[in-house]
A and B are shown apart, each in its own frame.
Chain A
Amino acid sequence: MMRRVREGWRRLRSLRRRKELEIGLDEEIRFHIDSQTEKNLRAGMAPDEARRQALIKFGGVEPAKERARDQFRWAFVEDFLRDLRYGGRALRRAPGFTTVATLTLALGIGATTAMFSVVNGVLLRPLPYPEQDRLIELVHEAPGLGIARLLASPAVYFGYRDHSQTFEAVGLWDWDSSPVTVTGSGEPEAVRSLEVTHEVLTILGADPLVGRGFREADDLPGSVPTAIISYGYWQRHFGGADPLGETLVVDGIPRQVIGVLPQWFRFFDYPAEIFYPRQPVRSGAVFPSGDGRGIARLKEGVTLGEANADIARMIPILSEEFPGGNVKEWRLAPKLRWLKDTVVGDLRDTLWLLMGTIGLLLLIACANVANLVLVRTETRRPELAIRAALGAGWGGIARVVFAESAVLGLAGGFAGLSVAYVSLPLLLSLGAADLPHVMTVRIDPTVMLVTLGISVLVTLMFALIPVFHVALPKLQLAGVLRGAGRSGTEGRESHRARHLLVVFQVALALVLLSGSGLMMRTFQTLRQVDPGFRDPGNIQTFQLTIPTAAVPASERAGVPVPDRTVRMQHEILDRLAAVAAVESAGFSSSNDGLPLDGDGKSRSIFVEGRTRADGPAALKEVQFVSPHFFETLRTPLMAGRTFAWNDVDPARPVVLVSENLARAEWGSAGAALGKRIGPRETGPWSEVVGVVKDVHHNGLSQPAPETVIFPARPDDTASFVIRSERVGTSSFLEDLRRAVWSVNPNLSLASVQTLGDLYQRSMARTSMTLQLLAITGAMALLLGLIGIYGVVSYSVSQRRREIGIRLALGAAPGEVRRMFVRHALALVGIGVAIGLAAAVGLTRLMESQLFGVSPLDPLTHLAVALALLAAAGLASYLSAHGASALDPVEVLKGV
């Protein structure tokens, strides 16, 4: 063995030194011929003749070189290729086996590759920003208020910018006023926008393609309004023509375009097209508070821990510089996150879970192929025995068996790659709502390399089993040879190996099926959660931004402009309600006021008569809605009344509260009526006039927040909800648009979607996980059943003689069949038992994906186990059919 290794090493080295050797060989031969020529000269030959004779004596330079070269060739590669060719030929003679094995491998490897390319694209690859490993999001926690994630604020921005020792740059951004309305040239257009301080784009490495980036001067209130546009918007709006110096009227403010962002740049997953300066104001900034999102670039080599410590040091300084907050009561503490983690969020757990399940599927596929290869090796025993008898060592025989597996693995790998190419788009469409678009998922060289690695590993797994299998009982080969062609004596080891594989497969399939079962239960439970609204598919929603400046100057006289906004929204609502087939319509102020939109506002709310001594006021979700908002959602009214227009305009101090808030504060919905609450201990107070049923705001799996609902307030943007049977038709949307334009032709609808879309999206993660697990589970089941079917039918074919004798002696066909089914079910039973134990351990890993069902849910596990047993029983029954259909006479004659 050692000798062989050394030999291989020398050849490898000679491979490396080949060029060197080639040159040496040339020189050596030239020297030889020259020396001979000299000798000939000394012997008195003429120079020409001397050389000619030397060459003749040498006898052909090229053949000599060629034969010398042969000595330093990498003969091993050639041997291996020869083995592969042999393996390929052998496989061509067994097309059924080859097809099934290759397809199974392709399925396993393909699924693994596709899933891995998602994991690689989303989790492993860095964010597409330069030096992204130094980017963080500025987040704090305030356990005193029960806030796990407090965002940044102007105070945070100014404070950390001025005092930090670990940050290279700090920026603040928000999309509060998105979408903006761009007017001026052509039709009004709602465009997604982002307000940024001048550092934000620089931190993300987005140097403008054309023009300049924001500077500090742009951030000063009162400076010339500027804007930077995305590459896409540049192409669409300006047709790629020079945009510098052009003016865009954004929400009524003329802004000068100063730059265009490069094409590659995406602001995370937010498709913003217009960026303009946020211009935060230092005076009056309060710390701590939450208003905007902070981003920072750490100095080189700074760890997250050091940055957190730096912030902890700055908190007292900021608290003094920006008074008004209460750091102690909030128990404010730094909780910085890498930007990458912010983007990926809790998708990490889900993706690794799915990767793990697909890995199990690959194992099942591998077991299946190992089983097939075992059976094939078994049937080739006579041939192998002949080879052994003719002098092939067991090493040689193992090589024959292995080469065949290697060809299979190679074919499986290539086919798997095609499967991955085909299935990746499907996978991405399943996860479209949930995967961060800023990360590109594709089959890149890393993925291919991993696929290659997987193929090799898989090949080793299913190839080594039969190789050892041949090696161990090599002494029995002689016996096999004697019995070749007569009876199917096969080694006990083979039986045992194949049975173990089936048990293994069944156990894994059970784990996967339990996982899908639990996800199915989760999905069901989620569907049963009462979201607080009815028939969301019949509710059209859109956002409308009324730029303050859009209100004609002539109408401003005497009326404060903000009030005009509400009045215009009221007018629009009336027109919308008058559209044919509209049942009811309402709106909620600002762009984050819809249920399940994943966004919202929260405030400290005090109850009259309770003091700070009772503990800090908890944050409540707040909402500002128009009359008919809850009627449109069909949220049941539990007590009192909802708003009327005279509550809104002019605003009266009345509020609605959610049922859970009423219960928590006053014991029941009815008891809440007439009570007063306010934003501070001292008021001003608003009277509770109604209690509505809880509405889910942050996803169905999160409890509905305790909510305080105020009358609609003046806000440029409002989210409209319109209930109609016509939702989903384009003519309906046209009618709505015309209704809006009849009030003001400069407005444009944004974020047009149904509440049903929002509802579906809130379940996107669950439904993606469910669908993938269900597909994986189904494939696992299929492969497992194929395995069982194969084992039984092979067993039948091996025991033909025995069956024939039994039948001849009068055994009923049903009895014979039952014998095989019983045997198969015993194996499956062991597999199920092991699988149940494994499932109990493994399903715990998916706890975070579950809702309303325990990972140990006995009903799910039991149902899956029984279903698997039943399916296995059926598979073995069908397979054993061949046994009872045997004609004993035929069988025994054939002996």
Chain B
Amino acid sequence: MTREKGEVLQGTLDMLVLRALQLEPMHGWGITERIEQWSESVLQLGQGTLYPALYRLERQGLIGSEWRVTENNRRARYYSLTTKGRRHLNEELVQWRRMSRAINLVLEATLDGGRA
């Protein structure tokens, strides 16, 4: 598979999926759409990775799932965050913010140093 411009960083997929589910339960397709929309179409989920990720997260007990009927009267599996998933997401977010701030600091510091 060729590397797409918007491929999600390794390890961040889980966090993105959990984040997408933070507001309301959604089906797989909805999650794709939500992430695409929020990221202004920069992030496009490789579908080959979304469903395995969903099954993995469910196995780990971070999300739950149930079959519901959509507005268009179709059966679809809706995923929702469990309490544990919610806690996990919060931890991940804190971690991520610290990391990304640190990385930004490093990147900017390097640029400054380059000018000097």
Q: Do B76 and A67 have beta carbons less than 8 Å apart?
A: no
Q: Do B1 and A14 have beta carbons less than 8 Å apart?
A: no
| Bound-state Cα–Cα, A64 to B45, Å | 12
- CB contacts under 8 Å to B, within A60-90, are 60, 63-65, 67-68, 70-72
| Bound-state Cα–Cα, A422 to B77, Å | 58
Q: With A68-B52, A68-B55 in contact, do A59 and B46 touch (Cβ < 8 Å)?
A: yes
Q: Do B76 and A28 have beta carbons less than 8 Å apart?
A: yes
| Bound-state Cα–Cα, A399 to B51, Å | 33
Interface residues on A, range: 20 to 34
Q: Do B51 and A68 have beta carbons less than 8 Å apart?
A: yes
Q: Which residue of A has the minimal Cβ distance to B55?
A: A71
Contact residues in A for B74 (Cβ distance below 8 Å): 31, 34
Could you count the A-B residue pairs with CB atoms below 8 Å apart for me: how many are there? 63
Query: Is B56 an interface residue when CB atoms closer than 8 A count as contact?
Result: yes
Contact residues in B for A68 (Cβ distance below 8 Å): 51-52, 54-55
Q: Looking at the complex, which one of A14, A35, A70 makes contact with B29 (CB distance below 8 Å)?
A: A35
Q: Do B59 and A14 have beta carbons less than 8 Å apart?
A: yes
Q: Looking at the complex, which one of B28, B46, B48 makes contact with A28 (CB distance below 8 Å)?
A: B28
Contact residues in B for A58 (Cβ distance below 8 Å): 47-48
| Bound-state Cα–Cα, A58 to B49, Å | 10
Contact residues in B for A36 (Cβ distance below 8 Å): 29
Q: How far is the CB of B85 from chain A (nearest CB, A)?
A: 14
Contact residues in B for A21 (Cβ distance below 8 Å): 55
Contact residues in B for A10 (Cβ distance below 8 Å): 59, 61
Q: With A27-B75, A28-B76 in contact, do A70 and B52 touch (Cβ < 8 Å)?
A: yes
Query: Is A299 an interface residue when CB atoms closer than 8 A count as contact?
Result: no
Q: How far is the CB of B78 from chain A (nearest CB, A)?
A: 10
Q: Do A67 and B51 have beta carbons less than 8 Å apart?
A: yes
Q: Do A57 and B47 have beta carbons less than 8 Å apart?
A: yes
Contact residues in B for A25 (Cβ distance below 8 Å): 51
Query: Is A24 an interface residue when CB atoms closer than 8 A count as contact?
Result: yes
| Bound-state Cα–Cα, A59 to B50, Å | 11
| Bound-state Cα–Cα, A27 to B29, Å | 12
Q: Do A31 and B29 have beta carbons less than 8 Å apart?
A: yes
Query: Is A527 an interface residue when CB atoms closer than 8 A count as contact?
Result: no
- CB contacts under 8 Å to B, within A540-561, are none
Q: Which residue of B has the minimal Cβ distance to A14?
A: B59
* Main secondary structure on A side of the interface with B: helix
| Bound-state Cα–Cα, A272 to B33, Å | 86
Contact residues in A for B49 (Cβ distance below 8 Å): 64, 67
Q: With A29-B51, A71-B56, A72-B55 in contact, do A59 and B1 touch (Cβ < 8 Å)?
A: yes
Query: Is A534 an interface residue when CB atoms closer than 8 A count as contact?
Result: no
Q: Do A32 and B47 have beta carbons less than 8 Å apart?
A: yes
Contact residues in A for B52 (Cβ distance below 8 Å): 64, 67-68, 70-71
Q: Which residue of B has the minimal Cβ distance to A25?
A: B51
Contact residues in A for B46 (Cβ distance below 8 Å): 59
Interface residues on B, range: 20 to 34
Query: Is A11 an interface residue when CB atoms closer than 8 A count as contact?
Result: yes
Q: How far is the CB of A779 from chain B (nearest CB, A)?
A: 51
Contact residues in B for A32 (Cβ distance below 8 Å): 27-29, 32, 47
Contact residues in A for B76 (Cβ distance below 8 Å): 28, 31
Q: How far is the CB of B72 from chain A (nearest CB, A)?
A: 8
Q: Do B75 and A31 have beta carbons less than 8 Å apart?
A: yes
Contact residues in A for B51 (Cβ distance below 8 Å): 25, 28-29, 64-65, 67-68
Q: Which residue of B has the minimal Cβ distance to A64?
A: B48
| Bound-state Cα–Cα, A28 to B26, Å | 12
Q: Which residue of A has the minimal Cβ distance to B52?
A: A67
| Bound-state Cα–Cα, A67 to B77, Å | 18
Fill in one digit per residue for A10-47: 1 if any B CB lies within 8 Å of its CB, else 0.
11001000000100110111011011100000000000
| Bound-state Cα–Cα, A24 to B52, Å | 13
Q: With A28-B28, A32-B29, A72-B55 in contact, do A67 and B48 touch (Cβ < 8 Å)?
A: yes
Fill in one digit per residue for B14-36: 1 if any A CB lies within 8 Å of its CB, else 0.
00000000000001110010000
Q: How far is the CB of B41 from chain A (nearest CB, A)?
A: 12
| Bound-state Cα–Cα, A63 to B76, Å | 21
Q: Which residue of B has the minimal Cβ distance to A63?
A: B48
Q: Do A59 and B47 have beta carbons less than 8 Å apart?
A: yes
Contact residues in A for B55 (Cβ distance below 8 Å): 21, 68, 71-72
Q: Which residue of B has the minimal Cβ distance to A10?
A: B59
A-B contacts, 27 listed (Cβ < 8 Å): A10-B59, A24-B67, A25-B51, A27-B77, A28-B27, A28-B28, A28-B76, A28-B77, A29-B51, A31-B29, A31-B76, A32-B32, A32-B47, A34-B74, A36-B29, A59-B46, A59-B47, A59-B48, A63-B48, A64-B48, A64-B49, A67-B48, A68-B51, A68-B55, A71-B52, A71-B59, A72-B55
Task: Give me 12 other A-B pairs in contact (C-beta within 8 A), A27-B77, A31-B77, A64-B48 excluded.
Answer: A11-B59, A28-B28, A28-B77, A31-B29, A58-B47, A58-B48, A59-B1, A59-B48, A67-B51, A67-B52, A71-B55, A72-B59
A residues with a Cβ closer than 8 A to B are 6, 10-11, 14, 21, 24-25, 27-29, 31-32, 34-36, 57-60, 63-65, 67-68, 70-72
Q: Which 7 A-B pairs have the closest CB atoms?
A: A71-B55, A67-B52, A35-B29, A64-B48, A58-B47, A68-B51, A32-B29
